[in-house]
Each structure stands twice: as C-alpha cells, then as structure tokens.
Structure 1
C-alpha cells in the first residue's frame, strides 16, 4: 500500500524532544517533510496561512499539551474553529509527558484528537500511527 502520509507537524516547545522525534520519524524513511513549531500559536498561524494548500498542510499533527504562548488545549480550541476551512482533514495525536487521567479523558472528548500517546514517541508507536492513518 502506498503511503499517504507525506508531511508531519510537531508542536512542542522542548528542543530535545523535537530533535529526538525528528530522528524517530526520519529513521522510518516514510515521511518527506517535518514542520516544527515551539508553540500552538505559530502552528495555528501556519495552518491558517496555508489552509488551501494541501501540499503544505500536514497529514498528521503531533501535539504537546504544555507549552508557552499557546498551549495544546488552546491550540485544539483554535484548530476546531478553523478546521472546516482547511483543504484536508488532519488527525491530531497528543504526545505529552502527562499521565494525568483527566488530561487523557479530556483529550478523548475532543473530536479532532485521534489518540493520546505518552512521551517519548517510539519508532513502533510512530509506525502504528502511520498504519492507522494509511
């Protein structure tokens, strides 16, 4: 089966996590592009600017919950408001260090959230995401 996933968006303020996640994704040799954002506001602005360009929009978003400027919860609120204007449907996977059952339950109540993964993301977990989305 041909891989439909070409671009991934990682929204996380931790530079070390960004680097490690990039390595995990790159090591699969399945993804062409990785967009990195350190906060939800920059990511929302990017999505709004490229809302009609399917090639620039990510195929998957990996979202942290706890970041400065705009956290993951605020990102999800803003994403919900703009998602119908986006040229394609984008599944969101929350990747967080939180193991709080309240965070996990809250994320599952948000329609645009596909799953909740506890950090760090492993190659195996990433390959499961790819398989599920494809």
Structure 2
C-alpha cells in the first residue's frame, strides 16, 4: 500500500487531533505529521518550509472553524505562498452547510470536503487518490 510522507493536520479540537493522529498511525497512513491548532500558527510555520522546499507536507487536513485564523483565511493566505510542490488539501469539517461545499470548490488546491469524523476508509481513499 502507498504511504503519504508528511501529513499536516490543522484543527483546534484536541480530541479530533488525537483521534486522527492515532488513526493515521494504526492505518500506516503517513511517515510523519505536523499539527497546528489554528490557521495563523500553520501559516507562520509552513511559509518558511514551503519557501525553502524542506519537509513539505504532501497533504493537509484542514478544519474550517478555528479561532485566530479560520480555515478560509488560511486558504487565502496559503495560496499566495510560492511552492515548488503541489500540496493536496482536504477540508475536514463538521459543517454540512451547502455554502461551505460551494466555497471549497473555488479553491483549486482543495481536493475534497470531508465531514468529520475521519474514518480508516477515508484515509485509504485519500492514499488511493494521492
């Protein structure tokens, strides 16, 4: 089975982060992961990594509703950062609002919109489409 090298989780919910990391380990989804608790923290850490080309995440699991900088604000800032590598973003949210689904389609980097919780089947599907 294929494996993601570096996965990035951007979510403020510690229970979701813990469960997703555990699930990633159990399914051997990735070699390593980065975790950020809001969009601003993620941008501040990812910007220099993306610009240097070092240890760039292959995929990002992005929550929408977070304090400080939400997922939409993160996306708007993220797409402005030059990168030599394409990073696949999956929005992972509890929001079932149709306007969120439509808004996500406006971002070319967003591969899919996943309703929480993440399941082993979803992780396998992500690997297969990667």
TM-score (norm 1): 0.91
- The corresponding residue for 2:116 is 119
CA distance in 2, matches of 1:5, 1:29: 9
C-alpha contact (below 8 Å) 1:63/1:72 kept by paired residues: yes
**Pick from 80, 86, 89: which aligns with 2:86?**
89
C-alpha contact (below 8 Å) 2:10/2:37 kept by paired residues: yes
Q: CA RMSD in A?
A: 1.4
Give 3-state SS (helix, strand or coil) of 1:32's partner: strand
Structure 1: where are the runs of 5+ without partners? Answer: none
Structure 2: where are the runs of 5+ without partners? Answer: none
- The corresponding residue for 2:127 is 130
- The corresponding residue for 2:76 is 77
TM-score (norm 2): 0.94
- The corresponding residue for 1:60 is 59
Give 3-state SS (helix, strand or coil) of 1:6's partner: strand
Return 11-20 or 101-110, whichever deviates more. 101-110
Shift in Å, 1:87 = 2.8
Aligned residues: 130
- The corresponding residue for 1:101 is 98
Shift in Å, 1:15 = 0.2
Shift in Å, 1:53 = 4.6
Structure 1 runs of 4+ aligned residues shifted over 3 Å read 52-55
